[in-house]
Amino acid sequence: MNKELITQNIKVPNNTEILKKYFSQCFDKNGYFNLDKFKNEISENESNFAKESYSMDWLGKSYARLLATDSATTLLKENTEFNNKKENINSENILIKGDNLEVLKHLVNAYYEKIKMIYIDPPYNTGNDGFVYQDDRKFSYNELQQLAGISEEKAKRILYFTQSKSNSHSAWLTFMYPRLYIAKQLLKEDGVIFISIDDNEVAQLKLLMDEIFGEDNFVALAPRKTGAGSAATRSESELRKLNDYVFIYQKSKLKFKPKLMGKKKFPFTDKYGDYYLGQFQASGSDATRLSRPKMYYPIYILTDGTITSKEQERYKKIIFPNKVNGEDGRWLWSPKKLEQDNHIIHYKKGKLHRKIYYDSSKNNNIYQVEKAWFDQFRNASGTKSFNTLFEPQKKIFSHPKPVELIMHLFNLIDNDNDNEIFILDFFAGSGTTGDAVMQLNAEDGGNRKFILVQIPEKIDPKKNRISYNFVKKLKEKELKTKNLKLKTKNSQIETDITIFEITKERLIRASKKINTELEIEIDKINGKLNLKTETEIKKLKALRTKNLQLKTNNYFKIFETMPIWEDYDFEADELEEDLKLFDESKLTKEDLNALLITWKTYDGIPLTQNLQKINLCENINSNSQIETNNSLKTNNLPLTTNNYQSYYANSKLYLMNKGFTTENLKNLLEKIDADRQFNPTSIIAFGYHFESKNLREISENIKSYANKKSIDIDFIIRY
């Protein structure tokens, strides 16, 4: 019988735990890390530990590391009303309301190394974008000193800026570090993260990403032409800025493969093989004779078709390189190489090209054509896409990212070998990433799933009156649908006027728009069925089935974080008969459901995977009997009829409710023997809903019962 204090101890594995996983041999019996042994383990890499290395530091870095591995202070709950709607009940798309750091900590076990792509558009810290560091964790100077291993003076400085709503570089880095630290753990080995940023924090972000992901995993810093910028207002020396940037980092250089965007065609053939034609005159910054004078010379085309650099009497054409910016150009090859390989040169209609042959050893039949410069995804496109969904309202959300940008970024990734593709955005904003995923699936028939996280940031009615009124009307309509009186719910409406409601509404409207387009296609297919041959009808029906499936992919479920109950605390070292630590009677059905969702996610079960409800009062086989050597240690307690609902998934059985009896225990053990689909390796009980003697009874019987499947079962008590 194991006791776990999980609810207040949900955290991300720290670096020490990762080292223990992969280098357990470098820890002694007391758990201390042996650095010398570790050095020997990796000495084959010829690492020089004595050499100083370049690193980044800022006020609050130790605190940021602490936040990355500190326990979560929340639970996860679901919006059961929304999630149980017919269209949403089987969806695997997720929208989560809450602080993204808390959410990431909850997701890390269930989605560890499962995310193919992360796209985020974090606050740029421009001074005008509203970013200030806000932290509700309450550490004293002494606590922070001990936890982070820093001086009292530094602890005071850190706590000052975390509590003073700072927007300094240090505050921004402290905010970003723990989120990116956990994000890396969520990425698959061949996964990629894209981060939009502008020049206020681009330098800091590069150093931060190098530290977390490694310099070797930097792919590109791609400028994006925004198409809009503020004019110079402060001084004549100011320039108008018309771009931001997209950082691209891979999880692992060894695993990541960019998508190969197309195949080169080799349309011509001669005795040397298949080839295509490439340029023979140089281009670029050193394309003139001034840079390479020996590459400037005449080429003679002889009457028999021979190509040579040597002057001949019998020729039909002399060709010089074209001019480049007013200067004489140059060839790519020297005269010597031309004479050696003149059979590779192709002449036609006054132009020279070189033949580039297919070479299987170099695999030069495929190539990456995309450039790290995004000049076709302007801000105006993002605003237009958003306003199309929200007409006739205007300026409900400022500067939404272009849907086409997210779609393009995903198309840079090779996903041919992925059966399940998750895309994460934990700064969801208006919900552009979710919209992009749905559109991309509709275009190519993909099965991508999105996970979006958005904090319920209040909308200021003075600064954003249009947004405020729009969300207020949404909430009033929602309450009216529920037949609730508005005058008694004004406080609830005010509380719910947040950006999250815009995110949610964007996804609902985008889903409806895309599905309407799919329905039009389905109607067209139905209209063609009577006019086609049997073979064509078969193809049309397959396409119709595919479109119907795509419709079901365009829905989502909603979850949110909630604070752990203030007086929820367990400090007892032993289970005592009359120990009363927490008033569990005040827990509602929704509270227990939140606890169950939090625990199952901690145990690695995806948020959208439904738990099977199992009534332990149902006899699997009325004639089945427990053999004598497996008899229950019931202490002669009477058996009574009692329905008891438990929850099961992924070999884990959860006992959350009160009223578990000896008969329920008997039926549980019988079900393990009789039901092929029921194979729990862990039985997890909510300790507050069981008396100590019941817990001992369950533990002893599970331990002593030799089930027919020979399953080793752990009995775990959680608080």
- CA 189 vs. chain centroid, Å, equals 13
Is 90 exceeded by the pLDDT of residue 668? yes
Please tell me the predicted confidence (pLDDT) of residue 701: 95
Poorest-pLDDT segment among 146-150, 257-261, 345-349, 653-657: 257-261
Poorest-pLDDT segment among 37-41, 145-149, 564-568, 629-633: 629-633
Please tell me the predicted confidence (pLDDT) of residue 283: 87
Query: pLDDT category, 502, cuts 50, 70, 90?
Result: very high
Is 90 exceeded by the pLDDT of residue 365? no
* Burial of residue 497, with CB atoms counted within 10 A of its CB: 0-12 exposed, 13-18 middle, 19 or more buried: buried
Classify residue 640 as left (phi > 0), alpha (psi -120 to 50) or beta: beta
Q: What's the CA gap between 480 and 502, in Å, rounded?
A: 19
Does residue 129 or residue 97 have the better pLDDT? 97
Is 70 exceeded by the pLDDT of residue 614? yes
pLDDT tens, position by position, 247-279: 999 998 877 777 666 667 788 999 999 898 999
Output b/e per residue, 142-158; b: 16+ Cβ within 10 A.
Answer: eebbebbebeeebbebb
Structure tokens at 702: 């599970």
User: If you count them, how many residues does the chain have?
Assistant: 719
pLDDT tens, position by position, 653-662: 999 999 999 9
Does residue 627 or residue 543 have the better pLDDT? 543
Is 80 exceeded by the pLDDT of residue 23? no
Q: Is 317 helix (H, G, I), strand (E, B) or coil?
A: strand
Is 80 exceeded by the pLDDT of residue 405? yes
Query: pLDDT category, 639, cuts 50, 70, 90?
Result: very low
Give, as one character, the DSSP assignment of residue 460: P
pLDDT tens, position by position, 526-584: 777 776 677 777 777 777 777 877 888 899 999 999 999 887 865 544 445 445 566 78
Helical axes 403-410 vs 432-444, angle rounded to 10°:
60
**Percent of the chain scoring above 90 in pLDDT:** 53
Please tell me the predicted confidence (pLDDT) of residue 518: 86
Q: What residue ranges do the domains of the chain occupy?
A: 54-138+168-260+369-457+498-561, 262-367, 565-718
Does residue 487 or residue 638 have the better pLDDT? 487
Q: What's the CA gap between 68 and 712, in Å, rounded?
A: 34
Mean predicted confidence (pLDDT) in 433-446: 92
Q: Is 406 helix (H, G, I), strand (E, B) or coil?
A: helix
Please tell me the predicted confidence (pLDDT) of residue 524: 80
What spatial distance separates the first Cα and last Cα of the chain, rounded to whole Å?
14
Mean pLDDT of the chain: 85
Please tell me the predicted confidence (pLDDT) of residue 434: 97
Query: pLDDT category, 308, cuts 50, 70, 90?
Result: very high
Please tell me the predicted confidence (pLDDT) of residue 526: 78
Does residue 183 or residue 241 have the better pLDDT? 183
Does residue 487 or residue 168 have the better pLDDT? 168
Mean predicted confidence (pLDDT) in 31-41: 73
Output b/e per residue, 647-681; b: 16+ Cβ within 10 A.
Answer: bbbeebbbbbbeebbbbbbbbbbbbbbeeeebebe
Mean predicted confidence (pLDDT) in 655-683: 95
CB 454 within 8 A of CB 503: yes
Please tell me the predicted confidence (pLDDT) of residue 626: 37
Highest-confidence segment of 40-44, 47-51, 522-526, 556-560: 556-560
Please tell me the predicted confidence (pLDDT) of residue 21: 66
Before 392, cis peptide (omega within 30)?
Answer: yes
Please tell me the predicted confidence (pLDDT) of residue 420: 83
Give, as one character, the DSSP assignment of residue 33: B
Poorest-pLDDT segment among 322-336, 378-392, 481-495, 565-579: 565-579
CATH fold of the domain at 54-138+168-260+369-457+498-561:
Rossmann fold (3.40.50)
Does residue 55 or residue 323 have the better pLDDT? 323
pLDDT tens, position by position, 216-234: 999 999 999 998 665 444 5
Mean predicted confidence (pLDDT) in 493-517: 92
Is 50 exceeded by the pLDDT of residue 157? yes
Is 50 exceeded by the pLDDT of residue 457? yes
Please tell me the predicted confidence (pLDDT) of residue 638: 43
Is 60 exceeded by the pLDDT of residue 27? yes
Poorest-pLDDT segment among 164-178, 423-437, 560-574, 688-702: 560-574
